[in-house]
Amino acid sequence: MRARLLSAPSAASTASSLPSAGARPRRAVWRPRGPGAPPPPPPLSLRARASMQPAAPLPERQGVPPVHGVSNTVVGVLGGGQLGKMLCQAASQMGIKMVILDPLQGCPASSVCHEHVVGSFSDGDAVREFSKRCGVLTVEIEHVDAATLEKLEEQVPYTQLQDKYRQKKHFSKFGILLPDFMEVDTLHSIEEAGERFGYPLMVKSKRLAYDGRGNAVAQKKEDLSSVVASLGGFEHGLYVERWTPFVKELSVIVARSRDGSTVCYPVVETIHKDNICHIVEAPAEVSAKIKKSATDVAEKAIKSLEGAGVFAVELFLTEDDEILLNEVAPRPHNSGHHTIESCYTSQYEQHLRAILGIPLGDPSMKAPAAIMYNILGEDEGEAGFFLAHQLIQRALNIPGASVHWYAKPEMRKQRKMGHITIVGPSKASVKLRLDKLLQRDTYDPKKASPRASIIMGSDSDLNVMKDAETTIVSAHRTPERMYDFAKSAKDRGVEMPKGIPVATIAIGNAENAGLLAVKMLASRDPELTDKVLKYQEDLRDMVLEKAERLENIGWEEYLK
């Protein structure tokens, strides 16, 4: 996981101010907040003026120049990878200047930032010099010089961002449910952990662990020595976790502003491949109760911290419908890439709003459903680029698909090279489009999630309805069963229209019931709307053809 330092000017400055030469910017950082801690600084105001007539420029007020665009504050980013690139793209839309520090001349963000300073973000001198160029500093990558950042911040050590074990200790103090964990520093202590937690046993590095790196599983006691060696030894800093038999991995993006206010994005499901996030489904197909529980845990975790920006809270959903916190990434995150196309405010714009003191945007989804697919390297070098290009070509022919290519100069297996987001009118439709993208035929009508339920009072229509979700419910004979069936519909994936209208169709008219259900769903699904209109046109043509034939040959001949 890569981490980020959340930064913002002090309350004494404004969102429109530029630092003087050599001035050291003040920043708000990620840190635990406990009893007696000072409150966060108040939000910054954004001056705006609208006029129908030309007017003279506003005079400078207390030495602060007028704001040109959203903010005159220069934002500095340590790291120029894909997260930095998408952050710069969002800043460009808002007229915010971005400068980045990255050692790679052609790093992904270099093509879209205002200025690229070539240098190492793990070099203390380079970071100190770079900080003089900006009013707000944020970190895109975990491998930064923590000691230098601590001196710049003069607050809580930055190592708490990088150390996952310390992260878990902090959250446990606030009563947030976590998988059982403990620190290990000798073979004896890790063997004791194995006896305590059982096997398989998850062994993790405290620092520099992301995308499956820094994590290993010991299936039995005899594996411990080799697992520890694979992670760099005890001197590298290790801890262990009890194995969690989760049913789904969920994620919630939480944005926290400088005034302490928070907004949460819809809960999503993350699907991993070789411990790397491969697919994100938004929103997650879980019950409303689980969504609320996941959001509550995520918000509670972020409110226990200080600092402004976007945080990704990774969660486990257990078989008992319990939500456990896995870890927090204090930065924009892979599980929030889809927000660029699917939400009113992307996580990248939201991050800029938060660190600059601008009001937070609407995090809700503007598309009913979305899927994000990570483009991972399938081969080395040019062979890998060729396979990725073929995937992109298919994506360009899929409705609702948007391609994001990170422009990394080197292709490696399992490396994140880009992503594709598909938005659509329903989860079923975006899944079908993903199947088309991946050239796989996995559709099975008997396994597909239902979108509407047709209730049969008896088995008279079973011959017509046998390929659908089938059960028998009688409103007057089994009212409790009818109530339970309707109440649980949403948990089964059925979309309940506003007000839950009920239509009654005569016995033996299951086809009409199906048509009515399709028409109801078509009110929010353009694809279904087109199919309904085509069906109606075909019916019209059939009636006109019959009428013409009857008129031409007479009813006696017509009935033969």
Query: Phi and psi of 388, rounded to 5°?
Result: -65, -40
Cite the residue boundaries of each domain of the chain with CATH code 3.40.50.1970.
Answer: 453-524
The confidence score (pLDDT) of residue 452 equals 64
The confidence score (pLDDT) of residue 308 equals 86
For 189, half-sphere exposure in the C-beta direction (CA atoms, 13 angstrom radius) is 12
Question: pTM for this one?
Answer: 0.73
State mean pLDDT over 142-150.
65
At 460, list the tokens: 């008279």
Question: Residue type at 201?
Answer: L
State mean pLDDT over 160-180.
87
**HEC assignment per residue over 454-505:** CCECCCCCHHHHCCCCCCECCCCCCHHHHHHHHHCCHHHCCCCCCCCCCCCC
Cite the residue boundaries of each domain of the chain with CATH code 3.40.50.20.
Answer: 75-154
State mean pLDDT over 209-225.
82
State mean pLDDT over 338-361.
95
Which CATH number describes the domain made up of 180-242? 3.30.1490.20
State mean pLDDT over 312-316.
95
The confidence score (pLDDT) of residue 27 equals 44
The confidence score (pLDDT) of residue 19 equals 40
State mean pLDDT over 250-268.
95
CATH topology of domain 75-154: Rossmann fold (3.40.50)
Q: If you average pLDDT over every residue of the chain, what do you get?
A: 80
The confidence score (pLDDT) of residue 332 equals 92
Cite the residue boundaries of each domain of the chain with CATH code 3.30.1490.20.
Answer: 180-242
Cite the residue boundaries of each domain of the chain with CATH code 3.30.470.20.
Answer: 246-438
Q: In the predicted model, is pLDDT for residue 399 greater than 90?
A: yes
Residue 268 CB coordination number (10 Å): 25
Q: In the predicted model, is pLDDT for residue 178 greater than 90?
A: yes
Q: In the predicted model, is pLDDT for residue 341 greater than 70?
A: yes
Distance CA(490)–CA(92), nearest Å, equals 40
Distance CA(78)–CA(75), nearest Å, equals 10
The confidence score (pLDDT) of residue 525 equals 74
Distance in angstroms between the alpha carbons of the first and the last residue of the chain: 76
Q: Which CATH architecture has domain 246-438?
A: 2-Layer Sandwich (3.30)
The confidence score (pLDDT) of residue 202 equals 93
Which CATH number describes the domain made up of 453-524? 3.40.50.1970
Better-predicted residue by pLDDT, 113 or 454: 113
Query: Phi and psi of 191, rounded to 5°?
Result: -65, -40
DSSP 267-286: PEEEEEETTEEEEEEES-SS
Q: In this predicted model, what pLDDT tens digit does every residue of 470-515 receive, in sequence order?
A: 566 766 677 777 777 777 665 655 555 455 556 666 656 677 777 8
Q: In the predicted model, is pLDDT for residue 386 greater than 70?
A: yes
- The top-scoring range by mean pLDDT among 12-26, 106-120, 530-544 is 106-120
The confidence score (pLDDT) of residue 28 equals 40
